[in-house]
């Protein structure tokens, strides 16, 4: 019997017994709102319709590419992966019913990168935009997260491993609790970098670190960023363990507090027109800041740290 005939018989037998092999995972998958179908293999010419289907058919350390504008549904990420919208139009996740738009619960060595995504609350209890529970590193670039009834971003690492969050060129606004809430409960190091991040009109803080573990070590560097029109503080640093924010070349304006808490280093930053200015306790300043129009006075109080 020829190889072709043998292959045909083997395939026919597989169909007859219902044991066709599962679809193979791909290093790069694709999603499309125009011709996507979750029954596809998520290849370039046969894309999937939702992020979740594409995630499940992508290799660990692989990439999901967005082909055209549309809504792609909530996704739970459990591996190292990138989801990339490189300028095709809005690639969105709509959130309602108190759910999470994107949940990250991966292994402790997982790298997750999200680029060019919009996460939008739409009523009926808009929930949380992005919830990080477990991983190693999360990077957000060129994203919009807004109008959620809870936090825009819930960053909640636990365990003894290190966790790293980097956000750049991103808007987090109009959320019902905080814009970005970093709440570690672990002895592992937590490192956060915000660069060109805008946090507006959140009910409580624009950005907050609240270290829950008494032996924790959570630190954030905020550069070239703005927190404005938030109901509580622009930038808050609290907690039982180690917690620290370095706020550099940034703006905190028209909030209740410009900064609040302890362990905040402020340099080349404008703190202006806040109801209560900057909390003096635990603030360290390089002495090169701008403070004006604050209700309780325009002196950025705190310990002076000389520039080196």
The CB-side HSE value for 145 (13 A sphere, CA atoms) comes to: 37
Compute the distance between CA of residue 192 and CA of residue 185 in angstroms, rounded to an integer. 15
In the predicted model, residues of the chain with pLDDT beneath 50 are 1-22
Instruction: Render pLDDT for 265-300 as a digit per residue (tens, 0 to 9).
Output: 999 999 999 987 555 557 888 889 888 888 876 667
- pLDDT at position 301 is 66
Instruction: Note the helical H segments in the chain.
Output: 3-17, 51-56
Closest CA to 153 of 78, 209, 77, 233: 209
**∠ CA 124-126-132, rounded to 5°:** 150
295 CB contacts (<8 Å, ≥6 apart)?
Answer: 274, 275, 276, 277
pTM metric for this prediction: 0.90
- pLDDT at position 73 is 98
For each of the domains in the chain, give its residue range(s) and CATH number, in order of start. Answer: 63-304 (2.160.20.10)
Angstrom CA distances, 134 to 79, 81, 185, stand at 10, 14, 11
Compute the distance between CA of residue 196 and CA of residue 84 in angstroms, rounded to an integer. 19
- pLDDT at position 18 is 40
Contact 272, 295 (CB under 8 A): no
Instruction: Render pLDDT for 147-172 as a digit per residue (tens, 0 to 9).
Output: 999 999 999 998 889 999 999 999 99
Q: Which residue has the tokens 């190693």?
A: 136
Contact 118, 144 (CB under 8 A): yes
Instruction: Note the helical H segments in 48-88.
Output: 51-56
- pLDDT at position 279 is 56
Closest CA to 203 of 277, 152, 156: 152
What is the dihedral angle through the alpha carbons of 287, 209, 96, 78, rounded to the nearest 10 degrees?
120
């Amino acid at each position: 019997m020829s190889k072709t005939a043998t292959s045909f018989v083997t395939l026919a037998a597989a169909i007859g017994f219902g044991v066709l092999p599962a679809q193979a995972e791909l290093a790069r998958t694709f999603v499309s709102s125009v011709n996507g179908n979750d029954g596809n293999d998520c290849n370039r010419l046969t894309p999937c319709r939702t992020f979740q289907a594409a995630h499940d058919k992508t290799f660990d350390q692989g990439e999901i590419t967005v082909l055209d504008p549309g809504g792609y549904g909530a996704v739970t990420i459990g591996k190292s992966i990138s989801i990339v919208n490189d300028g095709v139009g809005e690639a969105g996740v709509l959130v309602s019913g108190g759910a999470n738009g994107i949940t990250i619960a991966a292994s402790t060595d997982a790298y997750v990168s999200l680029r060019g995504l919009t996460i939008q609350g739409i009523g009926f209890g808009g929930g949380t935009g992005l919830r990080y529970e477990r991983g190693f590193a999360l990077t957000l670039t060129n994203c919009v997260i807004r109008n959620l009834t809870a936090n825009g971003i819930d960053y909640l690492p636990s365990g003894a491993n290190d966790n790293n969050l980097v956000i750049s060129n991103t808007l987090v606004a109009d959320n019902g609790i905080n814009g970005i809430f970093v709440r570690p409960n672990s002895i592992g190091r937590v490192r956060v970098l915000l660069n060109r991040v805008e946090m507006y009109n959140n009910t409580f803080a624009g950005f907050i670190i609240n270290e829950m573990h008494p032996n924790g070590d959570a630190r954030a560097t905020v550069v070239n960023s703005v927190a404005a029109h938030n109901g509580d503080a622009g930038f808050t640093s609290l907690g039982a363990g180690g917690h620290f924010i370095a706020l550099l070349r940034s703006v905190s304006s028209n909030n209740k507090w410009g900064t609040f808490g302890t362990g905040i280093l402020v340099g080349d930053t404008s703190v202006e027109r806040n109801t209560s200015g900057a909390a003096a306790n635990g603030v360290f300043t390089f002495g090169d800041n701008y403070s004006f129009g604050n209700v309780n006075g325009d002196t950025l109080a705190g310990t002076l740290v000389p520039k080196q």
